[in-house]
Amino acid sequence: MKNLRDVWSSRFMHYIGEVQKYMRFIFTGHLAIVLVFLIGAGGYQYSEWLKIVQSDFPAEVLIALFVGVLLTFSRPTSLLREPDQVYLLPLESKMSQYFKKAKAWTFWSQVWIVAIVYIVSIPLLKAVTELTTFEIWSVFLLIIILKYLSVQGEFSYRYSERGQMIWVDRLIRAVIFSVAVYLGLHMQLILAIVAAVIGGVYVVIFRKKCAGEPVPYEHFVKLEQNRMMSFYRFANYFTDVPHLRGSIRRRGWLDWLYKFVSYNKDNTQKYLVFRTFIRTDDHFYLWLRLTVISAVIAAFVDIPVVSWIVAGALSFATTIQLKSALLSSGEFRMDMLYPLPDEARKVAVNQIVRLAMITQAIIVGLCSITQPMFYLTFIIILVISELTAKVSKP
């Protein structure tokens, strides 16, 4: 490597390849269908609501708060690795070259999120405000500038303070940015620019504090590891990630659930599998997230067919992934030392998956109780989950 720019380029190409490798498993056909229905249903609901929205609806306040908070989350993508804490020490004085590239990628990889949110809110602004097209897009330019300041600010704060009390930094930036966007939406451009300048001064203060400070390799490496681990956990919902190691939590507040498994020899595997499901983050949060998504759609989407399709697709995804995860434990377990039947674990996994899906069906069914023929949601989840459990490979 000739310089640190080449180091970044090499790391970046490896990172893009890693992301692409797993993204092709994530965006498969059935997920694409679900997304199309979700976007279509959401767009339809939004357009229908805009027809009846009151002129006194506080759109400026809500958009300013939401965009302002969204702007503050600008976690830097450094692509640093654990050995860098040793091997890059001799190049510490030149790390600004590397971090310049890192901050540029952080900005471009995150700015589209806040841009989409603001663009989606434009029809609402036109419906309840008197803003012209020029004024609306002027605020859009202001938001892009604020995002740049946010990326620079969070990086400088983490560099100078080693990430300590990051929530304080985010709170301050959220207030400044929300005020700037709010003033911009009220076409007080001079005051909005003043608020943006205050945000810029805040960033400069921490940038100056970085001068002379050693590079916080340990903090940035841990931050990068956590970021990639979050991506791998998400990818693991769609395909097997070999090097992923799920974390275990006690979750003592759920101990009462174990009472539903009666205490006898025949239920040994059932108790162990149930305990594994409750305590393993990957398994528990997989079920929880898909259940919450399905429940929210069932509660707020007024198109029954869409909610049925989404409920069916997510019940299929929950069942097949949960069953695969509970059966794929390749580590040594204490139950292997006891003379239990070979099929006992498979039977136990099927029972626990069925129990989890019945619970999901009840939750989603109750959330759709205001919809016509809401009971079909309950039936669809149970039927699809049962069929998936039977036809999927053990």
Residue pLDDT, tens place only, 96-121: 889 999 999 999 999 999 999 999 99
What percent of the chain is predicted at pLDDT more than 90?
A: 40
Per-residue pLDDT, 182: 95
> Which own/partner pairs from 39-48 qualify as long-range (CB within 8 Å, at least 24 positions apart)?
40/306, 41/297, 41/301, 41/303, 41/306, 42/301, 44/303, 45/300, 45/301, 45/302, 46/120, 46/123, 47/123
Residue 331 confidence class, pLDDT cut points 50, 70, 90: low
The answer to whether residue 243 scores a pLDDT higher than 60 is yes
Per-residue pLDDT, 44: 83
- Distance CA(217)–CA(222), nearest Å, equals 8
The answer to whether residue 1 scores a pLDDT higher than 60 is no
Residue 239 confidence class, pLDDT cut points 50, 70, 90: low
The answer to whether residue 31 scores a pLDDT higher than 60 is yes
For 42-46, 212-216, 359-363, which range has the lowest pLDDT when averaged over its residues? 42-46
Residue 230 confidence class, pLDDT cut points 50, 70, 90: confident
Average pLDDT, the chain: 86
CB-neighbour burial class of residue 230 (10 A; exposed 0-12, middle 13-18, buried 19+): exposed
